[in-house]
């Protein structure tokens, strides 16, 4: 196994944007359209209101994930844009990125993390459930869409 590194970057950085484009293309192949029409602003991922992380494998960006604040209490983070490039899958990178995102949110005072996922992402669902996430009532942009699944866990 080759080592990988995880670093905080700006959401609008070239590495992050390349991975996000790839993530949206993957979602588009699964669901059609743009992949995800959820409104997202790069400023939402600036500390202390959020963070965005990129995983590097041999110096190349191959995975990402971030969180942004959710709700008015300042206690909840929303996981966004988790992705691992196909060539880097099966190395534990997604689990490491997820743990790093959770740690970042916890360090900024968040007590809970939530996410939206679609039913055509079995590998993501398996990752989240094995990491202790449980189904919660749907929320967010796709809450009423067929196949929307929402998950959450205490940090």
CATH of the domain at 110: 3.40.630.30
At 44 the three-state DSSP class reads helix
CA distance 114 to 93: 20
- Residue 149: inside a domain: no
- Residue 57: inside a domain: yes
Q: Which domain holds residue 37?
A: 4-114
Neighbouring C-beta atoms of residue 126, cutoff 10 Å = 10
pTM of the model: 0.95
Residue 68 exposed, middle or buried by CB count within 10 Å (0-12, 13-18, 19+): buried
Question: Into how many domains does the chain fold?
Answer: 1
CA distance 110 to 17: 25
Chain segment 40-50, per-residue pLDDT in tens:
999 999 999 99
Chain segment 60-119, per-residue pLDDT in tens:
999 999 999 999 999 999 999 999 999 999 999 999 999 999 999 999 999 999 999 999
- Residue 16: inside a domain: yes
């Amino acid at each position: 196994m080759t080592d990988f590194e995880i670093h905080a970057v700006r959401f609008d950085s070239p590495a992050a944007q390349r991975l996000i484009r790839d993530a949206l293309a993957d979602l588009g192949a699964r669901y059609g359209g743009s992949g995800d029409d959820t409104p997202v602003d790069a400023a939402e991922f600036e500390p202390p209101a959020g963070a965005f992380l990129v995983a590097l494998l041999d110096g190349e960006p191959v995975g990402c994930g971030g969180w942004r604040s959710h709700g008015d209490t300042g206690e909840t983070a929303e996981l966004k844009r988790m992705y691992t490039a196909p060539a880097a899958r099966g190395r534990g990178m997604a689990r490491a990125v997820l743990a790093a995102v959770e740690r970042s949110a916890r360090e900024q005072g968040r007590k809970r993390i939530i996410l939206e996922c679609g039913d055509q992402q079995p590998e993501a669902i398996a990752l989240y459930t094995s990491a202790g996430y449980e189904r919660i009532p749907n929320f967010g942009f796709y809450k009423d869409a067929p196949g929307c699944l929402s998950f959450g866990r205490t940090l």
